[in-house]
Structure 1
Amino acid sequence: MVKKPADSLIVMTELVLPNDTNVFGNLMGGRLMYWMDIAAALSAQKHSNAPVVTASVDNISFLNAIKLGNAVHIEARVTRAFNSSMEVFLDVWGEDLVTQQKYRSNTAYYTFVALDEHSRPKAAQPIEPETADDVERYNGALRRRQLRLILGGKMKPDDAKELKELFEKG
């Protein structure tokens, strides 16, 4: 069964409490990554209808700190499915609940693997992009996957045809 990215959409909201912050009153990066992992896992599990495990986390850059007392909104959706893995895009927003001002905190890509009843990787369901953003993320997912595989020592750079094309255009 082919699914759409919207079928795996998860929106998770958390409130930044004192125990979640550093000495500057900002949400700790590790706590945010923990919440992001949960949201991404829920999205991957929703897509695959199976338990999932985290396989990798791409670069996470923090654009804006999220302050004590603010809300954190995490949106996660599957962008592409490969053999047994799924790439999940996360978009994170902070919100000052007093002024109702929303601001982007960060984005990231996580990779999950669906597991069968024996805890072995199982085939991931295909995905069909709908919107222009879906198509862009879907097309970029293959290059991001190749980069992850190269950095993990599972692929030789010369075998990453789509990734090489980015640097050979000119």
Structure 2
Amino acid sequence: MAAICVFCASSRTLDQRWLDLAAETGAEIARRGHTLVSGGGCVGMMGALADGARAAGGRTVGVIPQSLVDLEVADLASDELLITDSMASRKTVMIDKSDAFLTLPGGLGTLDELFEVWTTATLALHAKPMVLVDTDGFYRPVLDWLGALADQTFLKPAGLGLLTVTDTVPAALDAMERQLT
């Protein structure tokens, strides 16, 4: 089975529906026998994601910088908690430890992680599946902007094509599993 890295929000002020989406994502990853790799936080969607995976019997790996451990937001219940020296090294470890990447709704940090893994894929530094879950059109404005970048040749169509977009978590995991086989 695969190690699936999920990028998502860690905000403490989100609507319950986003926390529920994260918890269900973690549970679905576990039900399918995959390991969850996350940003190692215990708050917001990130915390709900890991809790959902563990509640369904899944294995969790958290990757978190020491500065966030110091703020007491580390997911100490992780089966494996890897502590890095910076946010940049956190992303490197997450990429190295994962077989595929799933992006849920989130803010700047989530987009930073998505663009890092996507950029490294366009440079052929990895060929791991990347799926964006566009729940309720959350990412539609970003996807429209990216389409405009491609139209203006700032983004090659092949690069745009490396990201699979779905509107549900089961469809996202189905797409990943097809790409991993």
**TM-score, shorter chain, exceeding 0.5:** no
Q: Give TM-score scaled by structure 1 length.
A: 0.25
Greater helix proportion: 2
Greater radius of gyration (CA) = 1
**Structure with more of its chain in strand, by fraction:** 1
Report the TM-score when normalising by structure 2.
0.24
